[in-house]
């Protein structure tokens, strides 16, 4: 099994190299890892004490970020090494100021794992949510470096819980983890079913992150002027299927405004989005000198604003639900916005929970979107009830970061 795993890793790296001339992410994945050991060794400070935090991509970074910030505040004796597997995480957060070193994670081979840990020599390691790399985890165990899996969540269809040969081999990784900080009771029960008991239900650190976002959201004068006294829908991280039904809705109404922040902000995609709209629309980058009260749609063609935008809305629509899965709904829920998303949400605990509590709604087409938006925006009692459900859900789930640090550092 180890041979098959190792072969799969090498094959993945080879395919990325072959695809790199034709694919931007493959190129970033490959080029970003070239001469990684020399680049990393130059950044290491002699005699400094390091903690290693690893995130797959940008979403996991948002879960790891509260942990990094708390460590820097409460344990300034440590330096932080932050690694990413995916270019979409590294390229956006490579200059994150609270990490002393930001790097790609070298592909998971025995040689790379030994070299990476020899260079960095962390005192503790935190892997966020889903990341399980056989050779890194094995090498951490050999070196007696504690590994903590944080904001972890497990489902019974994962390979760990299969009774075939591959599942049993893959499961062995779990026994090398020092402690699991899981999001829910089901995850604890699944781990217990295979003999893993070093588990705490701590919740999801993203709640701490979004709570801090809400407390420090930015004022956006352009948005205030655009909104005026109108009811406002904030659509975040949208994809083509999301945008098509949103455009169909806003093209039918007159007394409601829409801010849409697409996941992809390239000029080509923004132009495609503009073509869907009949009602007056303006780009955020061109809005300053426009007659904003006369516009019905504001298109955000930049990044970094979304978390503050939610503070201006009545209702949020979160994209991705017509694809592989929805984006972050908690950034909207923390402001007390009812959340709407497409049908593919079941893998996201927060979406399932919030839907049950009445703070979120699933739609499968334009008809359902139109129905729930009209109900929320025309029925004040229903809107208030849904808003309170969202805000309450976030408020009841903060505190995971404090719980984890107290246990890890025995404070």
161-215 tens-digit pLDDT: 999 988 899 999 999 999 999 999 999 999 999 999 999 999 999 999 998 888 8
| C-beta separation of 376 from 386 below 8 A | yes
72 and 149 assigned to the same domain: yes
Identify the pLDDT of residue 1. 81
What does the DSSP 8-state code read for residue 296? S
Q: Flag the least confident range among 72-76, 96-100, 208-212, 356-360.
A: 208-212
- Pairing assessment for the beta strands 49-55 and 360-362 based on DSSP bridges: unpaired
* pLDDT for the residue 36: 94
Instruction: For residue 389, give the CATH number of its domain.
Output: 3.40.50.2000
pLDDT tens for each residue of 218-256 = 899 999 999 999 999 999 999 999 999 999 999 999 999
208 with 334, same domain: the answer is no
- Let me know whether 202 and 266 are in one domain: no
In this model, does residue 8 exceed pLDDT 90?
no
Q: 353 with 247, same domain?
A: yes
The structure's pTM equals 0.85
SS3 16: helix
Which pLDDT score, from 0 to 100, does residue 303 have?
83
DSSP 272-312: HHHHH--S-EEEGGG-TTS-GGG-SEEE--SSS-HHHHGGG
Q: What is the span of the domain harbouring residue 280?
A: 219-394
Report yes or no: 168 and 99 within 8 Å, Cβ to Cβ. Answer: no
Claim to verify: residue 341 and residue 235 sit in the same structural domain: yes
CATH number at residue 123: 3.40.50.11720
Q: What percent of the chain has pLDDT over 70?
A: 100
Residues 184, 237 within the same domain: no
Claim to verify: residue 97 and residue 183 sit in the same structural domain: yes
Chain position carrying tokens 């408020």: 395
Cα dihedral angle (35, 76, 61, 220), rounded to 10 degrees?
-120
pLDDT grade, residue 313 (50/70/90)?
very high
Judgement on whether residues 205 and 233 belong to the same structural domain of the protein? no
Tell me which residue of 353, 323, 325, 355 sits closest to 339, measured CA to CA. 355
Total domains, the chain? 2
381-386 average pLDDT score: 98
pLDDT level of residue 411 (50, 70, 90 thresholds): low
Beta strands (DSSP E) in 224-265 are 231-238, 256-262
In a shared domain, residues 123 and 243: no
pLDDT at 5: 85
Nearest by Cα to 230 from 294, 279, 281: 294
Same domain, 321 and 353: yes
Mean pLDDT computed over every residue of the chain:
94
Q: Give the mean model confidence (pLDDT) for residues 43-57.
A: 95
Domain match, 82 and 136 both: yes
Asked whether residue 302 falls in the same domain as residue 336, the answer is yes
Kindly report the backbone phi and psi dihedral angles of residue 329, in degrees, each rounded to the nearest multiple of 5, phi listed first.
-90, -15
């Amino acid at each position: 099994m180890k041979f098959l795993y190792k072969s799969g890793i090498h094959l993945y790296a080879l395919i990325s190299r072959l695809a790199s001339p034709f694919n931007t992410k493959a190129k970033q994945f490959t080029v970003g890892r070239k001469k990684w050991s020399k680049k990393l060794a130059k950044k290491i400070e002699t005699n400094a004490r390091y903690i290693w935090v690893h995130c797959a991509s940008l979403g996991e970074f948002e879960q790891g970020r509260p942990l990094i910030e708390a460590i820097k505040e409460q344990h300034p004796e440590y330096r932080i090494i932050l690694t990413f597997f995916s270019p979409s995480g590294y390229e956006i957060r490579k200059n994150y100021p609270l990490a002393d070193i930001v790097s790609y994670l070298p592909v998971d081979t025995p040689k790379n794992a030994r070299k990476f840990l020899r260079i960095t020599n962390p005192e503790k390691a935190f892997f966020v949510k889903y990341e399980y790399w056989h050779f890194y985890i094995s090498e951490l165990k050999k070196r007696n470096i504690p590994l903590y899996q944080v904001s972890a969540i497990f489902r019974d269809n994962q390979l760990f819980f299969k009774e075939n040969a591959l599942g049993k081999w893959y499961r062995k990784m779990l026994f090398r983890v020092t402690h699991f900080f899981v999001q829910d009771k089901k995850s604890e029960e699944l781990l217990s079913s295979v003999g893993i008991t070093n588990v705490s239900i701590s919740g999801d650190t993203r709640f701490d992150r979004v709570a801090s976002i809400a407390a420090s959201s930015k004022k956006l004068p352009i948005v205030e002027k655009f909104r005026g006294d109108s009811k406002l829908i904030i659509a975040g991280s949208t994809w083509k299927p999301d945008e098509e039904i949103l455009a169909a809705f806003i093209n039918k109404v007159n007394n409601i405004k829409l801010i849409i922040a697409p996941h992809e902000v390239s000029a080509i995609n923004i132009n495609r989005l503009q073509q869907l709209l009949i009602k007056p629309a303006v780009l955020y980058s061109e809005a300053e000198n426009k007659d904003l009260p006369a516009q019905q749609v504001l298109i955000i063609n930049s990044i970094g604003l979304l978390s503050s935008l939610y503070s201006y809305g009545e209702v949020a629509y979160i994209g991705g639900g017509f694809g592989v899965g929805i984006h972050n709904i908690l950034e909207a829920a923390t402001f007390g916005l009812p959340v709407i998303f497409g049908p593919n949400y079941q893998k996201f605990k927060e979406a399932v929970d919030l839907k049950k509590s009445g703070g979120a709604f699933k739609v499968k087409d334009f008809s359902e979107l139109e129905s729930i938006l009209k109900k929320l925006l025309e029925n004040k009692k229903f809107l208030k009830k849904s808003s309170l459900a969202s805000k309450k859900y976030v408020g009841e789930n903060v505190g995971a970061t404090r719980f984890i640090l107290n246990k890890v550092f025995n404070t």
